[in-house]
Structure 1
Amino acid sequence: MSITLLNNISALVAENAVSNTQASLQNTLTQLSTGLKINSGADDPAGLSIADGLGANIAALTQSSQNASNGIGLLQTADGALSQVTNVLNQAVTIATEASNGGLTTDQATALNTEFTAILSEINTIGQTTNFNGTSVFNNNNTDSLASAQGSVASPLALTTVLTTGDSVTINDSATGGTFKFTAAAGDTVGDLQTAINNAVTAGTLSAGTTLTIPTAGGAAANQGQVVIATTTTGDSLQITSNDPTLGTFAASTNSADNASFFTSDGTGGGASTTTTSISNLSAAALGLTATGVDLTSATDAKTALTAITAAISTIAAQRGDIGASVNQLTAVGNVENTEVQNLTNAQNNVQNADIASTTSKLTQFNILEQTGFDALSQANSAEQNVLKLLQ
């Protein structure tokens, strides 16, 4: 091997080795300080892509589990309210059965009917005040506008249209708990019915904003020429019955959605799903407890009321069954998502997290190599001094 002066190859080799060791040492210290073996795309491009994808899945599934939990909370709130309604309806069964029996005085029948009216009022209150996270559970499911079966653009009804003498229109209002009944006298018109409704609003029997209108051509496209009875009271629900062939039956012309929907996803289009539960409007009117003849003022009416109350209990039981099935479904969804989060987190851990034991061993190794590298570099520089001895 020739002896040279201008280039110290040994020193260059040692210097390069020390530089590489310091880079490895810095990477090891970064892994120990962050706990991650992938701290930049340069560390492991493929591994970074996998870890970030798993992280997105975990975030979506974690929130979806919370969505399911919130959904369960809402449904359990509804179920609890319906349970209380069942309790008061059972009380109504008792007093209706008592009122159906003969031998009661007028005062006793009146007292029983007053108690029955209070029960109906309590049902309305439960329906109107039950909420979850500031949102009404039942009264978003309202029927706030109903239109007559008769009348059209070609043959429109009008305020001057004469109603059938002796026939009636009955409106049950869930917001007030009131029942309005209009029986047509000879010569009464739709305009007279409109006036009676306005008077009932003033008296508080019907909620503020309850109106009768007849949409005309050039106005709203829907229900032109028909009698429309509607309310603008938020959460209100109307139930209208009519035996007048001039008007025909009344059907809902607008009905807000009665579905509670809960979204879950793993962050991909294929992994998204929506669990939907139908929650019906809750009011005495919606349960059919405010129709004509459903009261306890006489033994005959009490028997009619008893049949209606029993049917209402069955309706509530069916609703609770649907809600319970949805609670079980959301519980299962939440359990599956929690298991997925656990498994995906473990997979992400294997890809991204540093093996602390192995990394600590490397730290010791690189510390030693750094020290020996500096010693080797020092010796390589010292070796060049030997050239001077040849000049002595």
Structure 2
Amino acid sequence: MSFFVNTNISSLNAQRSLVINAPALNVSFQRLASGYRINSAADDAAGLQISNRLTSQINGIGQGIRNASDGISLSQVAEGALDEMTTSIQRMRTLVIQSRSGINSQLDRTALQNEIRQINKEITRIAETTSFAGIPLLDGRLNRDFLVGANAGENINVNLERDEGWTADGLRLSEVVVDGTDGINSPAITGQFNPTGTTFSVPAIPGTVFGLQASVNGGPFALLQEPVGSPYAGAPTPGQVTFGNNANINALILGQAIREGTGVNLQASVAGNTFTLINNSTVQFRLSGTAPDEATALANQAFVMSLTGLSANQVGIQPFQIAPPEDEDLITRLNLEIIDEAINTIDSARAKLGATQNRFQATIRNLSNVEENVSAARSRIRDTDYAKETAELTRTQILQQASTTVLAQANQRPQAALSLLQ
């Protein structure tokens, strides 16, 4: 056989085995030390991308759970304030009934009225001062979105918007009178809800409507506004709409006045002197202001009906002043109607807050489950399997030791050449 000294093939082969085995041993050490199977993109390029996407989702879900908890806290504070307001209003209702006891003197009624005024002040104070993390909750403008997921658009909304606010004045509780010194307003009646498919027929009667409000698609009520370019009027004026003696034009004017007053594009199909609500558009009307008496309120309603073609149920009626002691039974009934309406309004808001809190709780439970499962999926991709990796470490260590031993033996082989030179 051939025998070479300058080139030791056995040594080179052992060296190559050591070079090949060293990176695998280093990877095993790194994985066992860090706890991660993927420590660089070279370990698993696709797995690195997938695990990072899962990490983004897990982090987003975790923050979404905390956001949902904040939403629950905010809702609980608002609901607690409304609960206290309900207690105060219930006391006010009791006082109204107490005021009709036959043994009360005028001084007794005055005392009852003084307590009602203090209750109203406390209700207003609660509405004006209740806040959460500096956010006013009962000023009528609360409308907050809570992102409860890892991606944009996964929101839960908390909404306590109310045009009149939640003060005693906004709930009309300041109009409750039991001592006979002031008048009382009858409750305003908002026009009926007009769903998609409702058809309005507008007559050819000239005149100007004042103070008619509309709510489109459930939005806030706003005064109708004279359309730009109307042939019957000058500059656009909020709360004023002028009609002429052409029914077809009047129909267009009414539809455009609703759009320009509310700022919402009411969808309607116009044909002749009629227009029909389409594409899920809805509209509701009411009259602003307070009439001095019932006759004036009914006359205002009738005038709007004559020009617009709306029915009495569609127009509604303004609140009107009733001067005591015209009819104490009527005043008591209206007092209780105001109070009951305030209770119903608050109860509706509390019910909505309660449903929202339950939704937040359900979201937290679902997100916790998702977070657990996604974390498990990421772990299977990214984390070190210690059972497998320790076995791999043992294998590579044995190979390294064997290669080192073989290299030592291979390096001794050229020594045999000396025996040939003796």
TM range (shorter): 0.5 to 0.7
Give the alignment of 1:1-392 within 5 angstroms.
1-139=1-139, 141=140, 257-267=141-151, 272-279=153-160, 280=162, 281-291=165-175, 294-298=176-180, 300=328, 301-392=331-422
Q: 1:26 & 1:332 partners in 2: Cα distance?
A: 47
Structure 1 SS opposite 2:155: strand
Structure 2 SS opposite 1:42: coil
Q: Aligned-pair distance for 1:289?
A: 0.9
The percentage of counterpart residues that share the same residue type is 31
Question: Contact 2:38–2:383 (CA<8 Å) still a contact in 1?
Answer: yes
Q: Cα deviations across residues 268-326 of structure 1 (Å, max 9, x unaligned)?
A: x5xx32222321432101111123xx222138355532321121111111111111121
Q: How many residues align?
A: 271
Q: Aligned-pair distance for 1:353?
A: 0.5
Which segment drifts farther, 47-56 or 296-305?
296-305
Amino acid aligned to 1:274: N
Q: Aligned-pair distance for 1:357?
A: 1.3
Q: 1:50 & 1:260 partners in 2: Cα distance?
A: 33
Partner of 1:209: none
TM-score of the aligned structures, taking structure 1 as reference length: 0.66
The answer to which structure, 1 or 2, has the higher relative contact order (CA under 8 A, 6+ apart) is: 1
Q: 1:12 & 1:82 partners in 2: Cα distance?
A: 86
Question: Contact 1:96–1:303 (CA<8 Å) still a contact in 2?
Answer: no
Segments ≥4 residues shifted beyond 6 Å: none
Q: 2:69 & 2:366 partners in 1: Cα distance?
A: 13
Q: Aligned-pair distance for 1:41?
A: 0.2
Q: 2:364 & 2:52 partners in 1: Cα distance?
A: 23
Amino acid aligned to 1:319: A
Amino acid aligned to 1:276: N
Q: Which ranges in structure 2 are unaligned for 5 or more consecutive residues?
A: 181-324
Q: Cα deviations across residues 306-359 of structure 1 (Å, max 9, x unaligned)?
A: 321121111111111111121122222222211111111010000011101111
Partner of 1:146: none
Q: 2:6 & 2:378 partners in 1: Cα distance?
A: 53
TM-score of the aligned structures, taking structure 2 as reference length: 0.62
Q: 1:16 & 1:138 partners in 2: Cα distance?
A: 77
Q: 1:2 & 1:106 partners in 2: Cα distance?
A: 134
Structure 1 SS opposite 2:23: helix
Q: Which ranges in structure 1 are unaligned for 5 or more consecutive residues?
A: 142-256
Structure 1 SS opposite 2:173: coil
